[in-house]
Amino acid sequence: MKKAEVVFIPFPGPSHLDSTLEFAKLLTNCDNRLRITVLVMKLPYTTQSDVNTKSLPTSDSLDIINLPEVSLPPNIEPNSRMMAFLEAQKPNVKQAVSNLTTREQHGTLTSFVVDMFFTNMIDIGKEFSVPTLVFFTSGVASLGSNLHIHTIRERDNVDSTQLQQQTELAIPTFANSVPIYSLPSSMLNKEWESFFMNYAGGLKKANGIIVNSFEELESHAVQSFFSHPDLAGLPVIYPAGPIINPEPNTKGTVGSDDIIKWLDDQPLSSVVFLCFGTRGTFDEDQIKEIARAIEDSGVHFIWSLRKPKPKGVAMVAPSDYSLTELGLVLPEGFLDRTAGNGRVIGWAPQTQILAHPATGGFVSHCGWNSILESIYFGVPIATWPLFAEQQTNAFQLVCELKMAVEIVLDYRVEYNGEPNYLVTADKIERGIRNVLEKDGEVRKKVKEMSEKSRKTLLEGGSSYSHLGRLIDFIVNQI
């Protein structure tokens, strides 16, 4: 029998690409009738290498094709950049898929799986007469908020200015009303209105949405998709997570072995890990407040501190400070005074640190992958969202699921890189102490959910059955 060929088109940023590649691997391991080809793009303006795809074992069932690079005009507005990039890549995608369908050993093209931001690639699925599924790299509640805001914009003519004037909003996928400050800037800012409407409207055109989450974690949100009238008639969802790589290969990564060795010498659940994702950075004033909080709390710590990208440069990821530079941005003598207690590092082997029994708490930006990893390894989070849907995630963790402690919920880094306020040392210190609480309710809840997250993809788990439904849908296209 010919294999069912699925073409994946992921967003090339690490937080999207990693989970998409893991999901592709999971699908081919689950069912040998599937053959997957991943089309990897390189973002313009970046120095990003294809390191993420190197660790992937290509096989008869899984193949990776790096598409040609495209360039964009230098002065393009941030809110138009994504659309322009995708339009420029469309011919390359079509060409790659045409080449696939004429290959000797090619299976039957059955479907596309596109990233949540790439919904305008659904047109290409139509050209090849196959369905297109969306891979949504955040949670079900967050997906629901995107769809709901799109609906009220279209149906009730609510624009961003009217949204901003409200204090909270009832969203079907949340049990509690959601404060307006918990919504992403792209929903609230006038200049992002057309980007948002395009993006969320595109989600509604998909033939199904695969969500990197699981029913046991987001039971209210998942149920609302099946029962709430406002969500009726929308694409079917497949919560098939958590899609994480519990054992990433960081061998040879600078400093990661030293950090793990240091953790080996620390008491059980005693270390707080501060890490703010691939793009999270702070200015000097904020760095000094964090340092004061760490020092005053006296806790054992690992702090992943990244150097902000130069002002006015688009799409460049943060880099690491040199030791001399660290001495200048941290309070004088901080490194010497805390040498016995902790480590300030650059890039962090996050999964290995969270997996280590000495790690007891995680001060996090609340990116969805980080949330899934912290739950999987049973490490409670202290919330410090920065941008995108992180404020929504932080609200969900603290107020809906009661599975995190709050440092802040309404902190936000605007598109120009400026934060809306300075978080003071006493607030940060309180969060650090609370997240390390040994017998707290939050820790208990996270440990229970950790067990569930490890079972949900095994036979009998909810993600296992959603994955089965998805595979049946794909194979039935042959």
Residue 43: what pLDDT? Answer: 83
- At residue 76, the pLDDT reads 84
Domains of the chain: 4-245+456-475 (3.40.50.2000), 256-453 (3.40.50.2000)
Q: Which of 340, 195, 368, 200 is nearest to 278 (CA)?
A: 368
| Degrees, nearest 5: CA angle 22-24-29 | 95
- Which one is catalytic: 16, 148, 150, 300? 16
DSSP-derived secondary structure letter, 399: I
Rama region for 45: left / alpha / beta (φ>0; ψ in -120 to 50; rest): left
From the candidates 18, 115, 148, 356, which is the catalytic residue?
115
HSE-CB of 254 using CA atoms within 13 angstroms = 4
- pLDDT the model gives residue 248: 63
Q: What is the pLDDT of residue 164?
A: 92
Residue 242, preceding bond cis, omega within 30 degrees? yes
Residue 250: what pLDDT? 55
Number of helices (H), then strands (E), in the chain = 19, 17
pLDDT value, residue 311: 75
Average pLDDT of adjacent 10-residue blocks, the chain of 478 residues: 92 91 95 96 67 62 94 82 91 96 83 96 96 98 97 93 94 98 93 92 98 98 95 96 80 73 97 95 97 98 93 75 94 96 96 97 98 98 97 98 98 89 98 96 98 97 97 96
The torsion region of residue 57 among left (phi > 0), alpha (psi -120 to 50) and beta comes to beta
Determine whether 16 is an active site residue.
yes
